[in-house]
Amino acid sequence: MAIRGVSEIDELVHVKHVLASVFDKSGLEILVPGLLARCPGVKIISTGGTYSALQKILGEDAEKYVTPIEKFTRNPETEGGLVKTLSREKSLALLAETYCAAHQNDLRTAGVPPIDVVICNLYPFAEVVAKPDVTPEMARGNIDIGGPNMLREAGKNFLRCASIVDPADYFVLLDELRQNEGTMTLAFRLRCMKKAFDHVARYDRAIADHFANVTPEQVLGCYDTVHRKAEN
């Protein structure tokens, strides 16, 4: 099937909906009030731990501005946070193109608005595997799935979305919104896309490099019980 090209885009994009899911929660206390000041009426969709952090920052105003991801997707988070953001609704909200009638119809059918910004940093895989006593199980458990997925989706749709992977860039985002009255330029979104894909590529490279020398014997040694054959 041929990939359909885009012929119409916006140079400036208003920030109305933000998806926030971060392991490193530093800087949120600066980012969130700044977003509310520069983008009146902005809505923030958020995951478990990040949602709790935003509740503390916003206090009694949290319900007005923040929506838990499971309410947005209508899919409850699984035990232990195994699956939080992976959903058709979230992907559609990030990937839908503004001037594609079919995409806009899909958004209406799903009952979700387009998401304009992703704020996401990943499980600290490199830091975990740098520890001298790290096991294959510890490394495996710190492989982020939902985060890279969100960054790739927002990065692919930089024609409309921005992806912020570094808390140090919160100030850059807020300055962009201040200079452009609550909107983001194409140049800014493209810079974000380049940084996001580089970040994800480095993250995946770290995983591949670490597991390159892991043996089956090392994996088996992580577990108290190993079944010879899975029961069906």
Q: Where are the domains of the chain?
A: 12-220
Domain 12-220 has CATH 3.40.50.720: no
Q: Give me the pLDDT at residue 84, please.
A: 64
Q: Give me the pLDDT at residue 67, please.
A: 93
C-alpha–C-alpha distance, residues 55 and 25, integer Å = 13
* Average pLDDT of every residue of the chain: 92
pTM more than 0.75: yes
C-alpha–C-alpha distance, residues 209 and 188, integer Å = 32
Continuous segment of H or E residues that includes residue 224? none
For 176, phi then psi, to 5°, come to -60, -45
* Residue range 32-40: mean pLDDT, rounded: 96
Q: Is 74 left (phi over 0), alpha (psi -120 to 50) or beta?
A: left
Q: Assign 110 a pLDDT band (cuts: 50, 70, 90).
A: very high
Q: Is the pLDDT of residue 123 over 90?
A: no
C-alpha–C-alpha distance, residues 41 and 209, integer Å = 44
What is the SS3 assignment for 41?
coil
Q: Is the pLDDT of residue 85 over 90?
A: no
Torsion sign over Cα 83, 86, 87, 93: positive
Per-residue pLDDT of 51-75, as tens digits, reads 999 999 999 999 999 999 988 887 7
